[in-house]
Chain A
């Protein structure tokens, strides 16, 4: 053989070996990193790969939904990501920009088992996890366990409160919850009562921008009280040996939804659809709720999750949950952000 032919045939052989038996398909999943990635891999991805030996799921973690959207925009012409799990409001922007393909019930049969809030016609994807806003407390510093959001303005905690301010959606969610608690009617029209309530909390606030996330300063005791999301708070409770507690106050809370989306022109669409169907199915949803305490979006899973895990989600407290349309709320966001900057944050200086 001539040298060129030798090299070519050698390369071909090597590529053949690398491709391995039966050329496994890869689904590229983009979602939240660290804790979410670790738990999701164990509870959902590994069982899926076991059930589908021909498919591998490769996980790409990014810290925020906005960064995921940025990645999708940059790859619009040649997507390298097949499936994205991100915040519902951001997935609306992705849907409107044509970055996602509409999920089809015929191809993803588990969609029919989803609760109505997880099936929004204006979204290409479907709701996959439900989270809710919680009050965070450091159990050494805050005794007894509070049951109201208004402990945040207790003078005993001056300079010890950590709240992620708007534009973070924790700030927006808290505005809605406090508005309702103070007698507000429709957050889509006015949140004046919520803003006024935040003004009474502001003097206690140590930081409006807790880093890296709100949970760390509460666990370390740098802050005594905070506001965050239930699933991550529950996990931090377990990891910190109970130093952090998540409280669902009596005035109620709001749900936040993450959606699962199929990238438009996904290079591995068939395998990606299989994965999405599995992720929306009762088995995966039950496993992930028991692993990380996100409430399932699948009605069948809600019936089968262990009572202990279910008690650590807000599903059992539905009567206390305040309905909030995040997509409609996005239209009000800039105006509310301005109120925060003029009437809330200056009161904490």
Chain B
């Protein structure tokens, strides 16, 4: 149950400390893996973004700035960036609102119930996002379960719940909830029921206790969960492809189209760099927030 271990409250444990000299040796493996599996491919992608591509998709090994020029001057790509960030922020917010109560409940449970709830949270991750998205298609389409129920309740025409932004937001919110819940739990370490009891004893209402005690103590978890959810939302393309109906243009789906359909690899590479920069920005914001929380 690795997930359960990962979210167990972090308490200092006994054991012999690692000698400082062993540090670099222990890091060598992960540094090598990251160099080969991440840094080198990213540099290669950066190089690719400066290559020339012809209308047929023919790639030429000559230096060319047109992909970057397109991104910086064509309003479509600026719009794409704004839409992507806005949609992903909305998804992150919804995921947080829906996941927070569940995480709080799991944090307070002990023993078998806690394990059971954790298993329930982790189970969806064992199924691929593609399968879960098709599950949403079955639920959301015009004659699907949701519209069927609404029509039975007296709605005259089916609501358009998919093949638009609504569908993408619904699908991604559900798919990303397990990540949010696990991150929240990992960041709930400082939340001790005794603080809440103390606040209540001193006369604070439950709502005030939540706002002044629980919420500040859980901020590290919220920040971590939001970072992870935002990054995952920004980079997912299968769910937006299946539920967006070709109407929702996001950075990740555009990269897929440019790379896999239009054969414009340099533009796809340049857009990938933009997404990477967004990730970096999100990380910086997260770092600042965590430092401020203390």
Contact = CB atoms under 8 A, between A and B. Distances in A.
Contacts of A159: 142, 160
Interface stretch (A33-41, A89-97, A187-195, A288-296): A89-97
Given A331-B55, A332-B55, 9 more contacts: A64-B261, A92-B58, A93-B263, A96-B56, A96-B58, A211-B241, A330-B55, A341-B249, A349-B164
A349 B260 contact: no
A97 B163 CA distance: 38
Interface string A145-189: 000000000000001000011011000000000000000000000
A167 B257 contact: yes
A199 B173 CA distance: 32
Contacts of A349: 164, 247
A337 B245 CA distance: 17
A90 B246 contact: no
A341 B76 contact: yes
Contacts of A64: 260-261
Interface string B35-77: 0000000000000000000111111000000000000000010
B262 A165 contact: no
A345 B246 contact: yes
Interface stretch (A47-55, A201-209, A299-307): A201-209
9 tightest A-B CB contacts, nearest first? A208-B246, A209-B246, A207-B245, A93-B57, A96-B58, A331-B55, A93-B58, A167-B261, A330-B56
B241 A327 contact: no
B163 A207 contact: yes
A168 B261 contact: yes
A120 interface: no
A66 B57 contact: yes
28 contacts: A66-B259, A66-B260, A66-B261, A66-B263, A69-B57, A89-B56, A90-B263, A93-B56, A93-B57, A93-B58, A96-B54, A96-B58, A97-B59, A159-B160, A164-B246, A165-B246, A168-B261, A206-B163, A209-B241, A209-B244, A209-B245, A209-B246, A327-B56, A330-B55, A331-B55, A331-B56, A334-B262, A345-B247
B141 interface: yes
A167 B262 contact: yes
B195 to A, nearest CB: 49
Interface in A317-346: 327, 330-334, 337-338, 341, 345
A206 B245 contact: yes
A90 B54 CA distance: 12
B242 interface: yes
Which of A64, A92, A164, A207 has the most chain B CB within a 10 Å cutoff? A207
A11 interface: no
A333 B246 CA distance: 18
Contacts of B263: 66, 69, 90, 93
Contacts of B142: 159, 222
Contacts of B55: 330-334
A73 interface: yes
